[in-house]
């Protein structure tokens, strides 16, 4: 009796996760089609920060394989265990990265979205040599020129792109978080233009509140937390 109860609880968690995943995927598909794109060209990253393995597992059971974290240390605590169990997970770092954590980040993550300065480019290049791992990289742009926000300034982007390429990073795109209280669309359009100007195909933009707009404007990677996990505590 008790065991049946437990099973139905975990089944229900998986059903809920599946319903949320299906809804977000359908919204992405619809926005992509409107823009003459294919839904499968948009990668959905489930941002799992603050959520533990028990909260993540139902999404894995529902078929999600691509996850993101914003802190190296938090990710080190939960992903090695899940990875031992599920071999096809893809892990993305979307938060600011300190240079002294570069080696840990390269060892754990498949994609790094938050490259924002030359010293981090050097630290990552060194970490690549040491570990033999080459994560795909995005440069984060401070697209609204906000003093408190991470990301390189728009004026510094050409130099940083050149340095990342010269250092042998696998530079695939640009990432940004637009200003919180303004219409996001112009900032997404600006990021897309900057990516085109630099010959970069990847566009990491769009979160729970604005991912359909981001897909309409060319996002290749959307980073979604709340719509998949529920609101963070």
Ligand X SMILES: *Cc1c(COP(=O)(O)O)cnc(C)c1O
223 counts as binding ligand X under rule CB under 6 A: yes
Tell me which H or E stretch contains 13.
helix 2-34
Q: For the CB of residue 7, give the shortest distance to ligand X in the complex, in Å.
A: 30
Interaction of residue 115 with ligand X, rule CB under 6 A: no
**What DSSP assignment string belongs to 65-102?**
-EEEES-HHHHHHHHHHHHHH-TT-EEEE-S---GGGH
Binding-site size for ligand X (CB under 6 A) equals 13
Sole binder of ligand X in the list 85, 98, 226, 230 (CB under 6 A):
226
**DSSP E strands, 141-212:** 170-175, 202-204
Distance CA 92, CA 115 (A): 13
How many other C-beta atoms can be found within 10 angstroms of the C-beta atom of residue 99? Answer: 16
> Cβ 141 to ligand X, closest distance in Å?
12
Which of 32, 164, 177, 215 contacts ligand X by CB under 6 A?
Answer: 177
Residue 91 CB, nearest distance to ligand X (Å)? 14
Restricting to residues 14-53, name those near ligand X by CB under 6 A: 47, 49
Mask for 179-218, x = binds ligand X (CB under 6 A): ----------------------------xxx---------
> Binding of ligand X at residue 219 (CB under 6 A)?
no
Q: What is the CA radius of gyration of the chain?
A: 18
Position 136 contacts ligand X (CB under 6 A): no
Instruction: Please check whether residue 191 is in contact with residue 143, taking contact to mean a CB–CB distance below 8 angstroms.
Output: yes
Residue 103 or residue 116: which is nearer to ligand X going by CB? 116
Question: For residues 177 and 194, which CB has a smaller minimum distance to ligand X in the complex?
Answer: 177
How many Å apart are CA 165 and CA 73, to the nearest integer?
27
Interface with ligand X, residue 222, by CB under 6 A: no
**Contact (CB, 8 A) for 90 and 101:** no
CB of 147 to ligand X, least distance (A): 17
- Supply the angle between the helices 53-61 and 2-34 in degrees, to the nearest 10: 70
How far apart CA 149 and CA 142 sit, in angstroms, is 6
| Closest residue to ligand X, based on beta-carbon distance | 225
Q: With binding defined as CB under 6 A, does residue 70 bind ligand X?
A: yes
Residues that bind ligand X in the complex, under the rule CB under 6 A: 47, 49, 70, 94-95, 177, 207-209, 223-226
């Amino acid at each position: 009796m008790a065991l049946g109860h437990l099973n139905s609880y975990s089944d229900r968690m998986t059903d809920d996760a599946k319903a949320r995943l299906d809804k977000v995927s359908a919204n992405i598909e619809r926005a992509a089609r409107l823009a003459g794109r294919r839904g499968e060209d948009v990668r959905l990253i489930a941002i799992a920060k603050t959520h533990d393995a028990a909260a993540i597992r139902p999404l894995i059971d529902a078929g999600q394989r691509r996850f993101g974290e914003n802190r190296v240390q938090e990710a080190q605590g939960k992903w090695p265990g899940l990875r031992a169990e599920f071999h096809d997970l893809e892990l993305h770092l979307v938060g600011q990265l300190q240079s002294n954590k570069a080696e840990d980040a390269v060892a754990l993550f498949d994609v790094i979205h938050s490259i924002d300065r030359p010293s981090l480019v050097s630290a990552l290049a060194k970490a690549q040599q040491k570990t033999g791992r080459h994560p795909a990289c995005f440069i984060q742009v401070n697209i609204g020129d906000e003093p408190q926000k991470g990301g390189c300034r728009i004026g510094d982007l050409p130099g940083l792109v050149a340095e990342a390429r010269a250092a042998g990073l696998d530079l695939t795109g640009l990432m940004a978080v637009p200003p919180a209280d303004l219409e996001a669309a112009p900032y997404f359009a600006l990021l897309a233009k900057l990516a085109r100007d630099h010959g970069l195909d990847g566009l990491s933009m769009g979160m729970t509140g604005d991912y359909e707009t981001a897909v309409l404007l060319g996002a290749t990677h959307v980073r979604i937390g709340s719509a998949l996990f529920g609101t963070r505590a």
